[in-house]
Amino acid sequence: MPIKNILVPLAGGPPSLITAKYAIYVAKTMAAKLTVVYVVNENVLQELLKSRIFVEIEARVYDRDLEEQGRLFLERVKKMAESKGVEFEGVLLRGVVHDEVINKARQINADLLVMGELKELLSRKEVFCDEGERIFRESPCAVVVVKNPPEVERLYKEL
Partner 1 sequence: MKISDYLRADCCIMDVKATSMEGAIREIVLVMGKAAKIADTDKFISDLLERERLGSTGIGNNVAIPHSPTDSIEGFAIAFGRSSTGIDFRSLDGENVNLIFLMGTNPQELNLYLKLLAKLSKLLIEQSFRRELLSAVNAQQVIDIFRKYEAE
Q: List the one residue from 33, 37, 118, 125 that touches partner 1 (CB under 8 A).
A: 125
Q: How far is the CB of 88 from partner 1 (least distance, A)?
A: 22
Instruction: Kindly tell me which of 3 and 135 has the beta carbon lying closer to partner 1.
Output: 135
Q: How many residues bind partner 1 (CB under 8 A)?
A: 22
Bridging pattern class, strands 88-95 and 112-115: unpaired
For residue 145, state whether it binds partner 1 (rule: CB under 8 A): no
Sorted by sequence, the CB contacts under 8 Å of residue 151 that are 6+ apart come out as none
Q: What is the DSSP letter of 98?
A: H
Q: List the one residue from 29, 47, 142, 148 that touches partner 1 (CB under 8 A).
A: 47
Burial-class residue 30 by CB neighbours within 10 Å (0-12, 13-18, 19+).
Answer: middle
For residue 58, state whether it binds partner 1 (rule: CB under 8 A): yes
Q: How far is the CB of 52 from partner 1 (least distance, A)?
A: 5
CA of 148: how far to CAs of 3, 35, 119, 145, in Å? 22, 22, 14, 10
Sorted by sequence, the CB contacts under 8 Å of residue 72 that are 6+ apart come out as none
Q: Are 39 and 130 in contact (CB under 8 A)?
A: no
Q: List the one residue from 31, 53, 118, 142 that touches partner 1 (CB under 8 A).
A: 53
For residue 60, state whether it binds partner 1 (rule: CB under 8 A): no
Q: List the one residue from 65, 75, 138, 151 that touches partner 1 (CB under 8 A).
A: 65
For residue 102, state whether it binds partner 1 (rule: CB under 8 A): no
